[in-house]
Structure 1
């Protein structure tokens, strides 16, 4: 049975950008499970699967509906234990929680500033009307105030990747010898930036850039199928 994935898009349905949805796309491909991607814009999210969640991703697997990217990954791991593991055991799942906390508190915090205006520009008018006030309320600042920090966040972004850069001296993936869900967590953040923003965040020759390029090529180039922002 094909799993249905509801994922966030802007005005162009062919350019899904949510970091959390990208985690699930990669997790489903990692498991080798057939899935159908259903595009959802911001103002459509409340109607997804009867309003089960205020956010996407949401999947439907037969009669099961699961929301939240980490909960979805845990569900896939438990439901399809015969497929390649997303965590490599309980310890790997617990460590992925740390990676998620680091990614969201450090990388997402910066990217919310860097890509804010570019995300808004890629939305349909009705979603733009929702997006600005919701993000200003979440961040506690106006778009104009947030924009004042953009250049500083761009210039400092590389330093935020130092833990990953140092780790990659010892192993090719966060998961060790092969990618795991922890890799997809960080990939989701950088793919979000790649799809929506033209800001120069990764440098050629950097270990993180090389790792990210390997991520984009995983699963028959699933990440690369969506072109980088111009």
Structure 2
């Protein structure tokens, strides 16, 4: 059975930086499921017409098509119940909270810190779309929105719940990683792939957790291409 994940790429097809796609890639590795990743760009909407969707991730698992990173994790638990990601109803509800925490607290702070690096990492054909859509969302230019000092301060405050949990356990899900870790870690992979910015200090318990996450699944995250690996792309 062919399993395909449509995955956002940047200036190089090997540069895969979507936080949502990284959630799914870690979830698939957690389940021990092989997948073919197909590069997709922001403006290539026609490539996803079969899914009646206009953004990634899109997972094609045989005859099944699933969109939205969280729904893909739920699908994987239903279709492949071994090595659960989200757990029972109560645990799944807590994981849903972490999804919103990552998307509404961490990602906005990271975005403000790295947005110009992110813009530089996007394929040139996608930059006009990205600029227009994000400036409409922010109500200001990318350059005006970009404020690393404010972003890092916002992120530092937002990381307090993670610090508390990571002083209790090696992973958000306890002694071993699972869906909660992947839901949050995706936004850090997003930043790692497109920017060289240091988001947390080496002494922060979050940093130690990030290092553990990078080494999971045969170094899935650590081996990923970064913008600094693309000749002439990082400035």
Compute the TM-score of the two structures, normalised by the length of structure 2: 0.92
Residue 190 (structure 2) pairs with residue 192 (structure 1):
yes
**Which runs of structure 2 are paired with 1:75-114 in the superposition (5 Å)?**
75-81=75-81, 83-114=82-113
1:40 is aligned to 40
* Larger deviation, residues 182-191 vs 220-229: 220-229
**Contact 1:45/1:56 (8 A) holds in 2:** no
Q: Confirm whether residue 17 of structure 1 aligns to residue 42 of structure 2.
A: no
Q: Give the corresponding residue for 2:232.
A: none
Structure 1, residues 64-121: CA drift from partner, whole Å, max 9, x if none? Answer: 110000000001100111x211023222211110001111111111122222111111
Q: Which residue is equivalent to 1:181?
A: 179
Moved more, 15-24 or 172-181: 172-181
The Cα of 1:51 is off from its aligned counterpart by 5.0
Q: CA deviation at 1:7?
A: 0.6
Contact 2:121 2:227 in 1 (8 A): no
Residue 158 of structure 2 is matched in structure 1 by 160
1:175-195 deviation line (CA, Å, top 9, x unaligned): 112111110011101111111
Cα distance, 1:227 vs. partner?
A: 4.5
Question: How many residues in Structure 1 have an aligned counterpart in Structure 2?
Answer: 228
Query: Are 1:23 and 1:184, in contact at CA under 8 Å, matched by a contact in 2?
Result: yes
After superposition, the C-alpha distances for 1:144-198 in whole angstroms (9 at most, x for unaligned) are 2202x33221244222211001111111111112111110011101111111112
| Structure 1 runs, 4 residues or longer, greater than 6 Å off | none
Q: In 1, are the aligned partners of 2:113 and 2:150 still within 8 Å (CA)?
A: no
Matches within 5 A, 1:59-138: 59-81=59-81, 83-138=82-137
- The structural deviation recorded for 1:138 is 1.5
Structure 1: 5+ residue stretches without partners: none
Point out where structure 2 has 5 or more consecutive residues left out of the alignment.
Answer: 229-235
- Equivalents in 2 of 1:17, 1:45: separation in Å? 18
Aligned 8 A contact 2:48 2:55 in 1: no
Change (3 A) 1:99 1:32: same
Whether the 8 Å contact between 1:88 and 1:180 is mirrored in structure 2 is no
TM-score, length-scaled by structure 1: 0.94
Paired with 1:161 and 1:229, the residues of 2 have a C-alpha distance of 25
What is the DSSP-based 3-state SS (H/G/I as helix, E as strand, rest coil) of the residue aligned with 2:39? strand
Pair 1:49–1:59, CA change in 2 (3 A): farther
Q: Would the aligned equivalents of 2:11 and 2:121 in 1 still touch at CA under 8 Å?
A: yes
Secondary structure of 1:87 counterpart: coil
| 1:226 is the counterpart of 2:216 | no
